[in-house]
Structure 1
Amino acid sequence: MKHAKLAAGICGAIVMAAGAAGMAIGQAQVATPAATTSQTDATRAAMAAIMRNGSYLPRGGAPNSLLFNPAPPAPGSAAKARDEEAAAAAIAMQGTPRWEQAKIDADLFTPKVTDTFSCAAGFRIGAETTPKVQALLMKSMMDFGLASYPTKNRYQRPRPFMENGKATCTPDQEAMLRKDGSYPSGHSAIGFGMGLILADLVPDRAGELVARGRAFGESRRICNVHWLSDIEEGRIVAAAVFARLNAEPAFVADVAAARAELAEKRASLPVPDCARENAALAM
């Protein structure tokens, strides 16, 4: 039995199990049309592999997000108006290269998620090129994502597309997303958390990697599945979890192994073609 609920809001396609609330993760189930069965099976297999890797923090060991996430913006407040303005700006970007990048960033629960940081790192990250870095990122993903659930479960905030009726970049995931609280964004926590870990491993690219982690979360606003404040508070979750992870011996040991791997291999790692991604993120 694993941790708490890890749901569609984190990856946009997943498990409805309860975790922060105390229910265990079972086998991932994704509601998709029959035409996408093979893709669904591949996603399930990838998610199952990630879950088998477990996480670094013991159950209940993550910082309690309710202690540092305030309540989400209230209806009629200036903060809610800010969220709505940011959502409207995101809707205007549908169909643009930035929208297409948001679709790519939404693919969270496959090994390809680490490759989204390759351009920021300046070298190709993945199971074949940097296996120790890959293992570190995929295992810590669980800790960053799960830590958002005390707040998610408390407030169960509706997502932007549920209020504005506009399209999302992952329409096949909308049924799941409707059942999962929007605030804070687990996807943002994961992306920003990965950026923090990589910035520690590759300090000469720290600015680029933290910026990519930020953009990874922003993709959820562009997708019309998270409010701006969801994403911002997801970063706070990531910062708290990153601090806690650095006191966990297994995490510290794996960081050291990843750092040694990069010291040995970095100069020979392939450099990705980043023209498309750079242009999209520049929007």
Structure 2
Amino acid sequence: MNYVSYRGQHGFWAALIYASLSAGCAQDPAVRQPDAVAELRSASVVGYLPFQTLPDSRALVPPPPADGSEAFALDMDYSRRSVVLCDSPAWRLAVSDAYLMFPHAAGTFSCALNAPITEADTPHLYLLLRKTLIDAGLSTYAAKNYYRRGRPFASNKEPICTPAEQGRLEENGSYPSAHGAIGMTWALILAELSPGQTEEILARGRAFGLSRIVCNVHWYSDAIQGRNMASATVAKLHANPAFLADFKAAKAELDAVHRRGLKPQRACKSEAAAVAL
């Protein structure tokens, strides 16, 4: 499978992210925004897992909650409580979390790790995150394409945090959440790489999936089943020799970065406040 890569200058992406964060809930849909799933279509990087060996989400996740069920009532409750977070720190973090392109996405767990993740400092880890993004994201599509679940914004008519993507999201099934799968896949891998920060890493992985609820583009059950697909993806990865080789190299890189005392390149206090929400 072929994908399209976003490898523009870091400053270009930073400017786009800043514009989205500054605009808050009343963003102009005409404002150019990077495609949140562009990295899934990268021509230069493919995942570790051949397409036919990906976890089968159609077999692994149950049907989405039915209207009138207790589970759907919980989905609705999370949705109602999340839309009021518009323009909050959690909303601004959700805008940032929406964009999966690199190098921006590489820094998602920098604060949790208390270390930068860059192509220069940790090239094997940087590539590992890009490749596992593809594996985790694609693992959700068998169920997404089968159930074609509608998005929360289609029901509640409230704004989403990346309005330029609304047309694509309307055509893409909500269940399970690819972002949720990606965030927790990264968290599980990074917790193995840096076990001393397991709690912070896993909390950030959960927040990454919940950002999609804050964005008003996923239901709570979408995020939960995304986490389940992350567990299945990581299990498959641990049987893949190429992944294991990169994992070993990435651990050495991360250990070296910690020994050198390099610090994250993100506003970690602000992020911690948003994660707490």
Superposition pairs of residues 141-152 of structure 1, within 5 angstroms: 141-152=133-144
Moved more, 81-90 or 128-137: 128-137
2:273 matched to 1:279? yes
Mapped contact 2:39–2:134 kept (Cα < 8 A): no
User: Residues 214-253 of structure 1: CA distance to partner in whole angstroms, max 9, x if unpaired?
Assistant: 1000000000000000000000000000000000000001
User: Residues 15-47 of structure 1: CA distance to partner in whole angstroms, max 9, x if unpaired?
Assistant: xxxxxxxxxxxxxxxxx74x52xx55xx59x73
TM-score, length of structure 2 as denominator length:
0.85
Percentage identity across paired residues of the two chains: 43
Paired letter, 2:229: V
Paired letter, 1:117: F
Paired letter, 1:63: P
Paired residues, number: 250
Compute the displacement of 1:261 (Å).
1.5
Compute the displacement of 1:208 (Å).
1.0
User: Residues 124-167 of structure 1: CA distance to partner in whole angstroms, max 9, x if unpaired?
Assistant: 11212211111111111100000001110110000000111000
Deviating 4+ runs (over 6 angstroms): none
Compute the displacement of 1:66 (Å).
1.7
Paired letter, 1:222: V
Compute the displacement of 1:206 (Å).
1.3
Please point out which of 215, 240, 255 is paired with 1:223: 215
List alignment gaps of at least 5 residues for structure 2.
4-28
In structure 1, the residue matched to 2:93 is 101
Please point out which of 38, 42, 48 is paired with 1:56: 48
Structure 2 CA distance for partners of 1:48 and 1:191, relative to 1, 3 Å: closer
TM-score, length of structure 1 as denominator length:
0.84
In structure 1, the residue matched to 2:15 is none
Please point out which of 56, 72, 80 is paired with 1:88: 80
In structure 1, the residue matched to 2:114 is 122
List alignment gaps of at least 5 residues for structure 1.
4-31
In structure 1, the residue matched to 2:20 is none
Paired letter, 2:272: N
Partner of 2:249, secondary structure, is helix
Q: CA RMSD in A?
A: 2.0
Compute the displacement of 1:107 (Å).
1.1
How far apart are the structure 2 equivalents of 1:116 and 1:264? 19
Paired letter, 1:177: L
In structure 1, the residue matched to 2:146 is 154
Structure 2 CA distance for partners of 1:81 and 1:275, relative to 1, 3 Å: same
